[in-house]
Every structure is written in structure tokens, then in C-alpha cells.
Amino acid sequence: MRLGKKEKLLFLSGKRDEVVIKGRKERGAGDKWWFNEQQVQNEILLTVHSPADAIVGQYRLAVLLMTPTGHIFQETKKVEFHLLFNPWCKDDVVYLPEENLLQEYIMNEAGIIYMGAWDNIKSIPWNYGQFEDYVMDICFEVLDNSNNALKNSKMDMELRSDPVYVSRIITAMVNSNGDRGLLTGKWNEPYTDGVPPYQWTGSVPILKQWSKNGIRTVKYGQCWVFAGVACTVLRCLGIPTRLITNFSSAHDVDGNLSVDFLLDERYDSINRQRDSSWNFHCWVESWMRRDDLPKGNDGWQVLDPTPQELSDGEFCCGPCPVAAIKEGNVGVKYDARFVFAEVNADIIYWMVKQDGQWQKSGVGKNISTKSVYGDHREDVTLHYKYPEAMLLCCILTYNFSAKHNALFYSLCSAHKEVLRLRYDDYVRCISDHNQIRVKAVLEALGENKPIMAMANIPLSRPELLIQVPGKAVVQQQVTAYISFTNPLPVALNGGVFTVEGAGLLYATKVHVRGNVFPGQKVSVKLAFSPMRTGVRKLLVDFDSDRLKDVKGVATLVVRKKY
């Protein structure tokens, strides 16, 4: 760069340079782009400062050398860079003041997703991989292909300084309902024309497949896959995000804050209602200030990328303040009534010829996320709802009466019935998540209303043994040895291991030759060269025709070369 000339900086963003920003040489102009310069021998070092509310995106920087009369003397080759939200900056809307939270909710590439049932919680590892090669480019490609961006690119770009807008777009684009989104949802077999949801171990293969195949939707996902991918994209863009699991989660279609089931006289479901209750459901929370709402709504916001109901014409949900859900403020933007029902709705069983059985505390239990302090579960239920005892106290206060009532009831001793099931009894009832649902109905003599209860029973999975002997050094080959023993009384066919890990290796499949017979131990090995230093997680999944969703994880400390 020649000296003795004036410099001007142009920042261009958007596919067709829809946004053009001129950088000023004014130190301290906090609400504007500005730069300063430092001469180093025959070069000038430019330091660029962006405002806290700058548009996030891919930028091209052009340096214009001007003559004293204001004419362009020379234009340098454009330099590309990404600009993200900055949760370390006090003036940014996503500012999070605690460093340990930032290390988890921005920097951590490995996570844990909780599944199963509220009284039998299981966990699986998940590779977010937000710092893997090409992931950031793909995240902005996701934004560029939203319905809003395709309709009005300039307006979309100008709104990208707002994390409320950006996060809402992400929840719509993670699913493919009504747009060019990432994932197609499917909740039952067969999955032969895609990847079964339980086979994914991380977000990176999904993002890369979507981009590589010309932004064609990837098959298939369910709630935890949608949430895992959303967490990757939001962390990559600089928005602190964590994955949440709500056990006994309600899906209230009509917004009446109850989940209604129709049962016939044999207590079988009559499929006339779209309401449902899931044994677990996953979404994400993102941290941001809500300048568009009254005070008290800042902090964690619910974002649910699983396609369930339309919101402003899109299959998206949120951001919705967790604080508003706890206080029952269902009129707050966005989708507060829907989220409130997921954790608070009443479950009502309507019989064909009689009124329903009411179940008050059936939903919103053990709401969970990975702890900041290690690989264990943190319960955040009290962020969403007050304790049931406190709710009951309020109900009793409103129903207070001065009358004295006496109730006499003949108590019977408790009685248990033991139901023993063999593999042949329940094999056809196993869900994708290795669970069976048991329904019990009690009809008391002289009573009009039967009592019904259901339980989801998770089956124990075999343990995956993962060993990586020796020291792990960056760019030097190591070998992982993986094994497990078939616990079933039948042979397993079509076995395949999927192995991946952020900074270790991209998703790789290892097929098992032949059958794995009852009680037989199967072992495979895989050589790879770690790509980045630090504490890394190696994730393994095993699937076959009879046994699916067997997960394992090993921790490696990858050192530098010496």
C-alpha cells in the first residue's frame, strides 16, 4: 500500500452488496464503524472497530486510496471476514457477563442431550462442532436461504443486527416445512431413504450434507436432532445457547391449555385430536436482551425448531422469555401460550360415554440441561414453573369455605401386581428410543370413572467400550478400539458403528461383517489423526436391525507436537 494518500474503508455485505457501510477515521465513535492506522515500515496496519449493533454476516472490505482532491487513486482487493454477535461485549444485546457460562454456551463443541422418561432419565452425547471447517459459512448460507431473505434480501440484511429476528429465522430454517430448511422430520419407520434420527451423533454431517447437496433437505430428524442443529448454528453466530429437555411434554394444538385424549370403551385411543403428550421433547434456550418487550423479559429465551404449529405463517417457535412462562404471561411474543402449555397443560382423558379423567401434574417434569460444571444434569424446572405445592396452596386459598365437611372412606391395603415380560412379549412394542409403553386401567366396582395410568419404560442399553491407548498428539495417528456384547437372545444383523468428534475426525462409518450372535462380543478399530489440540470427545453410535441407538463417548486430551 502506498503512503501519503488518504484512506477510506467500505464494508459490503449481502449477496449483491445490499449493505454498504463507510468506515470513519474517528476514534471512539461507538455507534459507527471506524478505524485507525499504524505505519509499519512500508505497510499500513489498519485496525477496524464495529458498533455493538452491527449487522452480523459475511463482509467484504475494500480499502480505497484517495487523492487530496477526493478521487479514488487505488482500490485494494476485497478482503472477506465474518462478523458475529459478541456476548463478551457489554453493549451487545447478547452480552453474558459470566465467563464460565460463555465457555459452555459459546465455546463448548461437545454436549449432552437428555432423553428417556422423567423417572428414568438417560443421556446421549452430541457433537455440536460449531468451530469445524466450513460450518460458519454454512450457518450464513442458512440465513441467506430463509423465506425472508429470498423475498427481500436488503430488508433481511438490515434486520440481522437483532438476535430476536435472527434466532427466529434459525428455528424456521432448521426444519424444512415450508422453506429450504435443513432437516425433514419423521417420527416412525421406515427411514430407508435417509438416516434414522437416532443414528446422528452430531450436527456437522447434517449441515455439510445440506450445503453440499445444493441446499436440499436432509432426512431425517426428530426433536433432539432439530435442537442439536439449532444449538450449533446459534452458538456459531455468537448467541449463547443451551439445549433443554422437557419430560412429559405437552403439544396443545387448539391453545386451550389442556391436552385432550379420546378413548373408546376398550380404552384405546381414538385419533380425532391432534393434541399429544411426549415422554420428552427438546428445544433450545438462547440468552439475549428483549428490548422489544417490557422489563423482566431479558435472559433465557425458548426457541423450538421442531415443526409443530405455524407462527406468523412459518413453522417456527420463539424466542419466548422463560421468565414470562413462569409468570403465566402467555400474551408475550413469541408463542408464549404454546410454550406455556408444553410445561403446564392439564392432561384429560375423555371416554366415549363419560366425562374425562383429569391429570394435573402430568407435564413439564425434570426440565433438564447439561451443567456448566461438568458432564452431569442440571434441573431447570423452577425456571419455568413454581413448585406444585405452591400452586396447590393458591388453589386452596381461592376455594376457602367456612363450612365444615366430613368425608368417610374405607381404606384398603395397597396391592401390587407384578407383570413379567419376556423379550418375545415386548419386542414388537419397542420404540426407536428403546422404550415400551405400558397402560393400566383400574375399574372399581360401583364407580363410573375408571382410573388409567401410563408409563414409558426405557430399556437398558449395553455398554459401549471405547479405548484409545497411548498419547494423542495433533496430526499424529491414534487408534480407537470399540466393542460391545450383544445382550439380546437373538442375532443382530447389519451392524454399523458411527464415529465422530469435534477436532478429532469427521463422521465415519464402520460396518460389522456378518451376524452378532447372542452373548457375542463384537470389536472394531478405527485409526485417525486428531486435527486440533485440547480436551476432545470421541462419540460412537451403534445401530442394527434389532438393537439401535447404542451410544458411547470417550474423552481425549490432544497435545501439541514437540
Which alpha helices (DSSP H) does 312-374 contain, by range? 322-327, 336-344
The answer to whether residues 555 and 535 touch, using CB atoms and an 8 Å cutoff, is: yes
**Counted domains in the chain:** 3
* Same domain (yes/no): 43, 103: no
Catalytically annotated residue among 304, 541, 543, 549: 304
Does the pLDDT value for residue 91 go beyond 90? yes
Of 329, 246, 233, 343, the C-alpha closest to 290 is: 329
Note the pLDDT of residue 32.
82
Residue 356: pLDDT band (50, 70, 90) is: very low
CA dist., res. 345 & res. 365, Å (int): 12
Note the pLDDT of residue 522.
94
Catalytically annotated residue among 156, 179, 231, 281: 281
pTM summary value = 0.86
Note the pLDDT of residue 344.
75
Does the pLDDT value for residue 70 go beyond 70? no
In-domain check, residue 33? yes
In sequence order, the β-bridge partners of residue 120 are 117
- All three cell numbers of 282, joined, read 427438546
Catalytically annotated residue among 139, 223, 282, 317: 223
Does the pLDDT value for residue 84 go beyond 90? yes
Answer yes or no: 304 catalytic.
Answer: yes
* Same domain (yes/no): 195, 317: yes
In-domain check, residue 410? no
* Same domain (yes/no): 134, 19: no
CA dist., res. 251 & res. 259, Å (int): 7
Mean pLDDT across 364-369: 90
* Same domain (yes/no): 244, 268: yes
Note the pLDDT of residue 437.
76
Residue 49: pLDDT band (50, 70, 90) is: confident
In-domain check, residue 370? yes
Mean pLDDT across 171-198: 95
Mean of the per-residue pLDDT values of the chain: 84
The answer to whether residues 103 and 88 touch, using CB atoms and an 8 Å cutoff, is: no
Residue 163: pLDDT band (50, 70, 90) is: very high
In sequence order, the β-bridge partners of residue 510 are 497
Residue 75: pLDDT band (50, 70, 90) is: low
Mean pLDDT across 375-382: 96
* Same domain (yes/no): 27, 159: no
The domain boundary, picked from 362, 393, 424, lies at: 393
* Same domain (yes/no): 183, 302: yes
The domain boundary, picked from 35, 51, 83, lies at: 83
Residue 398: pLDDT band (50, 70, 90) is: very low
Q: What is the DSSP letter of 134?
A: T
Answer yes or no: 223 catalytic.
Answer: yes
Mean pLDDT across 543-557: 94
Note the pLDDT of residue 404.
45
Does the pLDDT value for residue 22 go beyond 90? no
* Same domain (yes/no): 232, 293: yes
Name the residue with higher pLDDT: 452 or 267: 452
Mean pLDDT across 36-43: 79
> Looking at 24-109, which runs of residues are DSSP E strands?
34-40, 43-49, 57-66, 72-75, 79-83
* Same domain (yes/no): 117, 69: no
Does the pLDDT value for residue 353 go beyond 60? no
Mean pLDDT across 268-285: 69
Give the number of other CB atoms < 10 A from CB of residue 263: 19
Q: What is the DSSP letter of 24?
A: B
* Same domain (yes/no): 48, 111: no
* Same domain (yes/no): 268, 382: yes
pLDDT in tens, 194-239: 999 999 999 999 999 999 999 999 999 999 999 999 999 999 999 9
Provide the CB-side half-sphere exposure for 355 (13 A, CA). 4
In-domain check, residue 400? no
Mean pLDDT across 114-134: 93
Note the pLDDT of residue 167.
98
Note the pLDDT of residue 114.
96
* Same domain (yes/no): 484, 525: yes
**3-class SS at 79?**
strand
In-domain check, residue 423? no
In-domain check, residue 178? yes
In-domain check, residue 24? yes
Note the pLDDT of residue 394.
41
* Same domain (yes/no): 243, 178: yes
CATH code assigned at 294: 3.90.260.10
CATH code assigned at 509: 2.60.40.10
State the residue range of the domain holding 491: 465-559
In-domain check, residue 431? no
The answer to whether residues 183 and 218 touch, using CB atoms and an 8 Å cutoff, is: yes
Provide the greatest CA pair distance for the chain: 101
Name the residue with higher pLDDT: 412 or 139: 139
The domain boundary, picked from 337, 368, 393, lies at: 393
Note the pLDDT of residue 400.
39
Q: Can you tell me which residue has the cell 469445524?
A: 132
